């Protein structure tokens, strides 16, 4: 008896929406068990899955189906682990071994990425601030990253964005609209993405994200402006959140080449959202500032990074290198009544 899969077997956007699911064959899915869905025989997806599966070799700690889910969020949360394994076997019409899998050369590339980042960070902080060895981009993987930027751009832009400013003198009314753009260059302090004197517009996808970005003290009043992107089709935003579900492997050209910089992208994802002590920020922001400058030179309008404090799916930050694409609507005032502190033992 033939088995069939349906769009709801997958979380990956490409598999859910881009695959041509037949409307003339509907029924109950053999894997996620959802009823009255368009159905495909799993082997029809083999050509899509083959380049992804080719990245993996024996090793690691999980079965191939589990590892694909962890690395790329391919499977629907409704699809149980045994059904994931059955579906992958059905796609390739063979039984994959029960051995564990991992990305090819993963450990070696992780070591190289960590060493390269550490070397670069030490150099830009303590040795050469403005001029670097010719091979620095190659060591970090920036040349490869540049070739894939159009494939890791933020495809679905948020409808609303928010920018926050702490009210001086504990003033409890919102600041005027004309004071809620990016700061003038003479007031632009060192930031996560910008060096001193270069002004960027920091925004969050929720008011909470925007407020956390300015690190208000308890009792502070914070003005938050509602922003809109004037022409979303003209904006080019690179998404530096390398986490399952933000990038579909089925939409990446030259996937084998892209896999070489996955460890570096994971480092960027961590470093962009990592809390940094204000006392160390002038130096510790330097490596990230350099990379943001490099990305800006690729004719990019801004970057996305995870919020350090807000962890919802819809909570993240966008830095715009210019505010010419942004319009300001209304300003509200928020009173910071409490803050949540989390800590871990330093081992």
Q: What is the pLDDT of residues 284-317, one digit of tens each?
A: 899 999 999 999 999 999 999 998 878 777 889 9
Q: Which residues contact 93 (CB under 8 A, 6 or more apart)?
A: 43, 46
User: For the residues 131-160, what does the mean pLDDT come to?
Assistant: 86
Close Cβ partners of 88 (under 8 Å, ≥ 6 residues apart): 49, 64, 65, 68, 96
Q: In this structure, is residue 343 part of a structural domain?
A: no
Q: For position 339, what pLDDT does the model report?
A: 66
Is the model's pLDDT at 39 over the cut of 80?
yes
What is d(CA 129, CA 248) in angstroms, rounded to the nearest whole number?
36
pLDDT, tens only, 7-31: 999 999 899 988 889 888 999 999 9
Please list, in sequence order, all residues whose beta carbon lies within 8 angstroms of the beta carbon of residue 15, skipping any fewer than 6 positions away.
7, 45, 48, 74, 248, 250
Give me 202's structure tokens: 């920091």
Q: What span, in angstroms and rounded, lies between the C-alpha atoms of 337 and 278?
A: 22
Query: Which of 44, 76, 103 marks a domain boundary?
Result: 103
Tell whether 272 and 132 lie within a shared domain.
Answer: no
In percent, the amount of the chain with pLDDT more than 90 equals: 64
285 and 238 in a common domain? yes
Same domain for 19 and 168, yes or no, is no
Q: With contact defined as beta carbons under 8 Å apart, do 112 and 138 qualify?
A: no
Helix (H) or strand (E) holding 269: helix 262-273
56 & 88 share domain = yes
215: left (phi over 0), alpha (psi -120 to 50) or beta: left
Domain boundary among 50, 79, 103: 103
**Residues 156, 303: one domain?**
yes
pLDDT by residue (tens digit) across 141-150?
888 899 999 8
| H or E stretch covering 262 | helix 262-273
What is the domain range of residue 134? Answer: 106-142
| Lookup: tokens for 323 | 């505010």
Residues 157 and 219 in one domain: yes
H or E stretch at 51: helix 46-53
* Three-class secondary structure of residue 233 per DSSP: helix
Does the pTM surpass 0.95? The reply is: no
CB-CB contact of 78 with 34 (8 Å) = yes
> Does residue 174 sit in the same domain as residue 261?
yes
């Amino acid at each position: 008896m033939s088995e069939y899969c349906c769009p709801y077997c997958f979380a990956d956007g490409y598999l859910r929406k881009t695959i041509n699911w037949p409307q003339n064959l509907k029924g109950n899915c053999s894997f996620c068990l959802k009823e009255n869905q368009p159905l495909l025989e799993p082997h029809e997806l083999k050509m899509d899955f083959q380049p992804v599966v080719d990245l993996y070799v024996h090793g690691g700690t999980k079965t191939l189906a589990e590892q694909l889910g962890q690395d790329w969020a391919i499977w629907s949360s409704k699809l149980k682990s045994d059904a994931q394994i059955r579906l992958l076997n059905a796609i390739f019409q063979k039984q994959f071994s029960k051995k564990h899998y991992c990305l090819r050369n993963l450990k070696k590339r992780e070591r190289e990425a960590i060493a390269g980042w550490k070397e670069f960070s030490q150099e830009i902080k303590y040795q050469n601030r403005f001029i670097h060895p010719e091979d620095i981009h190659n060591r970090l993987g920036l040349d490869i990253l540049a070739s894939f930027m159009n494939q890791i751009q933020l495809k679905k832009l948020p409808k609303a964005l928010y920018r926050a400013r702490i009210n001086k003198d504990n003033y409890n009314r919102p600041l005027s609209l004309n004071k809620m753009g990016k700061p003038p260059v003479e007031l632009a302090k060192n930031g996560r993405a910008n060096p001193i004197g270069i002004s960027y517009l920091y925004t969050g996808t929720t008011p909470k994200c925007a407020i956390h970005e300015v690190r208000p003290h308890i009792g502070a009043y914070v003005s938050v402006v509602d922003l809109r992107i004037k022409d979303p089709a003209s904006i080019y935003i690179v998404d530096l959140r390398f986490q399952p579900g933000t990038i579909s492997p089925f939409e990446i050209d030259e996937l084998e080449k892209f896999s070489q910089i996955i460890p570096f992208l994971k480092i960027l994802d961590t470093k962009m959202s990592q809390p940094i002590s204000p006392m160390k920020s002038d130096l510790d922001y330097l490596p990230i500032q350099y990379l943001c400058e490099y990305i800006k030179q690729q004719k990019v309008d801004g970057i996305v990074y995870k919020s350090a404090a807000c962890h919802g799916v819809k909570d993240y930050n966008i830095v715009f290198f210019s505010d010419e694409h942004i319009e300001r609507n209304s300003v509200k005032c928020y009173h910071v009544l409490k803050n949540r502190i989390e800590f871990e033992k330093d081992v």
